[in-house]
Amino acid sequence: MASRSTPAQDPAGGPPGADAELKARHRAMWASGDYASMVETFLLPLGPRLVAACGIGRGTRVLDVAAGTGNAAIPAAQQGADVTASDLTPELLEAGRRRAQAAGAELTWAEADAERLPFADASFDVVMSSIGAMFAPRHEAVAGELIRVCRPGGTIGLLSWTPEGMVGALFAVMGPFAPPPPPGATPPPRWGSEAHVRELLGDRATLHTAERDVLEVTAFAHPRDYAAHFRERYGPTIAARANAGRTGREAEFDAALDGFCEDWNRGTPDRARFEMEYLVAVGTRA
């Protein structure tokens, strides 16, 4: 895959590499815990949902941005597409390679920052991201890159947690305990707002699909089991708890997370069920 012919500016306005420390922290956060097992436990339905919404088929040139362990990239490859899965975190890419090998799927894996993609303009027929690119802090930079590497007439597809849904509420609960966001950052769940996506794309892409749905999670017997799962395996939760620990607030954080999962339980105390709302947004690049 061809690389960019000119160096990218730092998304915050400085020279390339000016936010290297921030990116290193993000890599470490997503490498902590065990995100791959979270995918296997309850996130697997999301990838095929986005692949179907994007109409991916044999021979389609696909870039999955912030692909993680390949939740959308692997199903796209299984449809016969020519897939590149990119992510900032090498540990997630390595887990993705193992998943792809086990599934018999062939695709390319590339370390890449969603805010500064190392691919040439108009390189792909479909540029997609399933609950991935939404976590890059500077949404305008990400949107610009998604559009840049997509060919005119190509498809841009996003699946994102909504601000009003469970994950949006989770980030609101974790916010008081988390490290301060970097300058210019926008909260991740904003990508789950149709109005926000339309604003980011502007006249550079026409949004033709904006559908909300829920991921039903029934893998946990008790609500606090779900809280423990997040506490032990989810990078943003681990980072927020570690930051809380610097001021002796771990117990307060744990109680808030346990209470959150109990509040969002839609099942019974002994058979938990959660509904995690997401937005599927698909558009055509101008």
Longest dimension (CA), the chain: 57
Strands 82-87 and 61-64: parallel
Show the beta-strand stretches assigned E in 101-258: 108-111, 124-130, 150-161, 205-217
The answer to whether residue 74 is domain-embedded is yes
**Beta bridge partners of residue 145, listed in sequence order:** none
In a domain, 270, yes or no: no
Q: Does the residue 24 lie in any domain?
A: yes
Cα–Cα dist 87/112, whole Å: 5
* Strand intervals (E) in the chain: 61-64, 82-87, 108-111, 124-130, 150-161, 205-217, 274-285
Domain that includes residue 37, residue range: 20-216+275-285
Return the pLDDT at 138.
97
Is 172 among the domain residues?
yes
Whether 151 is in a domain gets the answer: yes
The CA distance from 194 to 162, in Å, is: 9
Task: List the CATH number of the domain containing 120.
Answer: 3.40.50.150
Here the tokens at position 47 are: 């990838």
Question: Within a 10 A sphere around the Cβ of 252, how many other Cβ atoms?
Answer: 13
**Which pLDDT does position 14 carry in this prediction?**
45
Task: Compute the C-alpha angle 257/258/262, nearest 5°.
Answer: 115
Query: Which residue numbers in the chain have pLDDT < 70?
Result: 1-18
- Is 110 inside any structural domain? yes
Is residue 196, in this structure, part of any structural domain at all? yes
Rounded to 10°, the helix 20-31/235-245 angle is 110
Give the phi and the psi of residue 65 in degrees, each rounded to 5: -95, 135
Under 8 Å CB-to-CB from 281, ≥6 apart: which residues?
157, 158, 159, 160, 194, 197, 207, 209, 210
Is residue 255 assigned to a domain?
no
Domain count, the chain: 1
Q: What angle do CA 109, 281, 213 make, to 5 degrees?
A: 105
β-bridge mates for residue 210, sequence order? 281
Cα torsion angle, 99, 279, 174, 274, sign? negative
What CA–CA distance (Å, rounded) separates 130 from 243? 27
What confidence score (pLDDT) does residue 116 get? 97
* pLDDT of 19: 81
